[in-house]
Chains A and B, each alone.
Chain A
Amino acid sequence: MIIKILGLGCPNCQKLEANAKKAVLDLGLAAKVEKVTDFAKIAQYGAMAMPALVIDEQLKIAGRIPDVEEIKKLLKND
């Protein structure tokens, strides 16, 4: 499983990254959390509001910071 955090490095993106890492850790998943900061690549996911969360190349959340619980739910459903 690959989790991508899309954002241009603003504080909100860092918060989302921290939440995603915590969710992965809590669930004990073997998932990679990657940051995507190149806006040409960000656009390819169709995300238009930052920060955005992509799980296995699928855009899940854009424009807000989900908390750890919400990310866990998204991860479990996949």
Chain B
Amino acid sequence: MIKALSDYLVFTVFGQSQNSALGKSVEFFIDDSIKILLLLLIITHLMSLVRYYLPIEKIRDFLTSKKFYGLDYFLASLFGALTPFCSCSSIPLFIGFLEAKIPLGVTFAFLITSPLINEVALALFVGLFGWKVTIVYAVSGIAIGMIGGYILGKLNLDKYVEEFIWQIKANNNSLQTKKLPPKQVLAIVSKEALNITKQIIPYLLAGIALGALIHGYVPQGFFEKYITKENLFAVPLAVIIGIPLYSNASGVIPIIQALVAKGIPLGTALAFMMATVGLSLPEALILKKVMKWPLLAAFFGVVGLGIIILGYLFNIILS
């Protein structure tokens, strides 16, 4: 239906030819923007509702409530997927978990998954790649947080956390929430969802516009000459290039989708995307305030390696 509407707008109202590069670009832009905005509104509402009843402070209390025998890595990673990522929250999160005596590895499980999977990324994946790729991506994102956290936990890196972190004592640990009538909760949740959507719209539209230009102007199979699945260096190279670059999921996913449509292997493209949103220099600089170099290096090393392995796996599974 959305496709029909954007087709009508572009080809009938604006009088663009179906085959011109501009016509194709504009059609992609309108089609994708509407589709993704609708999905985004639905998914941000759902996730905001979950978060209202399950704020991160409660998740922390739950994780400290009993012994999980390893299941806590999975839970932390899953909860990381539920929370939106803001680099300004990563330090309070890190300290809050450690202060509550949650093991360093479990804390990392959360910290790794949080930027990789969130409502914005999911809405974009469903809209641009469909359900199958979305599910594969979400499952592997949670797996990488879980396994990465477990490995980092086993490396005994506690001594590389800045000492002052261990001295911090929270004096009142519980968030005081009052019970509100459902109607009021819904109003708060809706406002929050609209806020998130509003904040990312500029990045989202810029990303979709760039993606649409690639769709319209770059010839079919253009990248196949340069990057093939058989080229074993492509995945590590994509990850190494992706780490210093910083983008949130909303800007980079539409571009990735366009590149895949023009012949870049899906696994290689997803590895690049995960490195861009999951690991970044600004993030490293922020985390340097609470971590010493060996810990920071281990964090980036383990996650980077995990993404490379996933890239190869995606290239095998999703083709």
Q: Which residues of A contact B (CB under 8 A)?
A: 6-10, 12-13, 39-40, 42-50, 57-67, 70, 77
Asked if A67 and B168 make an inter-chain contact with CB atoms under 8 angstroms apart, the answer reads: no
Q: Which residues of B contact A (CB under 8 A)?
A: 51, 55-57, 60, 83, 86, 88-89, 91-93, 95-97, 99, 164, 168-176, 178, 188, 191-192, 195, 289-290
Q: Which of A50, A61, A65, A70 contacts B88 (CB 8 A)?
A: A50
A6, A46, A57, A59 — which one has the most chain B CB atoms within 10 A of its CB?
A46
Known: A39-B289, A63-B51, A70-B188. A47 touches B92 (CB 8 A): yes
Q: Determine the chain B residues whose CB is within 8 A of the CB of A61 once the complex forms.
A: 175
- The number of A-B residue pairs with CB atoms under 8 Å apart is 91
The smallest beta-carbon distance between B231 and chain A, in angstroms, is 40
Q: Determine the chain B residues whose CB is within 8 A of the CB of A64 once the complex forms.
A: 188, 192, 195
Contact sample, A vs B, 11 pairs, CB 8 Å cutoff: A42-B92, A45-B171, A46-B175, A48-B97, A58-B172, A59-B172, A59-B174, A63-B51, A66-B188, A67-B191, A77-B178
Asked if A43 and B86 make an inter-chain contact with CB atoms under 8 angstroms apart, the answer reads: no
Asked if B96 and A46 make an inter-chain contact with CB atoms under 8 angstroms apart, the answer reads: yes
**Additional 4 contacts, C-beta under 8 A, given A49-B93, A64-B192:** A12-B88, A46-B172, A59-B175, A61-B175
Give Cα A57–Cα B188 distance, bound, in whole angstroms: 23
User: What is the chain A residue whose CB lies nearest that of B286?
Assistant: A8
Asked if A44 and B93 make an inter-chain contact with CB atoms under 8 angstroms apart, the answer reads: no
At the interface, is chain B mostly helix, strand, loop or mixed?
Answer: helix
Give Cα A60–Cα B120 distance, bound, in whole angstroms: 26
Give Cα A58–Cα B178 distance, bound, in whole angstroms: 13
User: What is the chain A residue whose CB lies nearest that of B195?
Assistant: A65
The smallest beta-carbon distance between B175 and chain A, in angstroms, is 5
The smallest beta-carbon distance between B238 and chain A, in angstroms, is 29
Asked if A47 and B96 make an inter-chain contact with CB atoms under 8 angstroms apart, the answer reads: yes
Give Cα A75–Cα B168 distance, bound, in whole angstroms: 29
Q: Determine the chain B residues whose CB is within 8 A of the CB of A45 once the complex forms.
A: 170-172
User: What is the chain B residue whose CB lies nearest that of A77?
Assistant: B178
Asked if A12 and B176 make an inter-chain contact with CB atoms under 8 angstroms apart, the answer reads: no
Q: Determine the chain B residues whose CB is within 8 A of the CB of A7 once the complex forms.
A: 88
Q: Determine the chain A residues whose CB is within 8 A of the CB of B192 once the complex forms.
A: 64-65
Q: Which of A6, A62, A65 contacts B175 (CB 8 A)?
A: A62
Give Cα A10–Cα B137 distance, bound, in whole angstroms: 29
The smallest beta-carbon distance between A18 and chain B, in angstroms, is 14
Report, nearest first, the 6 A-B pairs whose CB atoms are least far apart. Answer: A48-B96, A10-B88, A43-B95, A46-B170, A46-B173, A50-B89
User: What is the chain A residue whose CB lies nearest that of B88?
Assistant: A10
The smallest beta-carbon distance between A32 and chain B, in angstroms, is 19
Give Cα A40–Cα B173 distance, bound, in whole angstroms: 14
Q: Determine the chain B residues whose CB is within 8 A of the CB of A12 once the complex forms.
A: 86, 88
Known: A7-B88, A49-B89, A50-B89. A44 touches B56 (CB 8 A): no
Q: Determine the chain B residues whose CB is within 8 A of the CB of A10 once the complex forms.
A: 86, 88
Q: Determine the chain A residues whose CB is within 8 A of the CB of B91 once the complex forms.
A: 8, 39
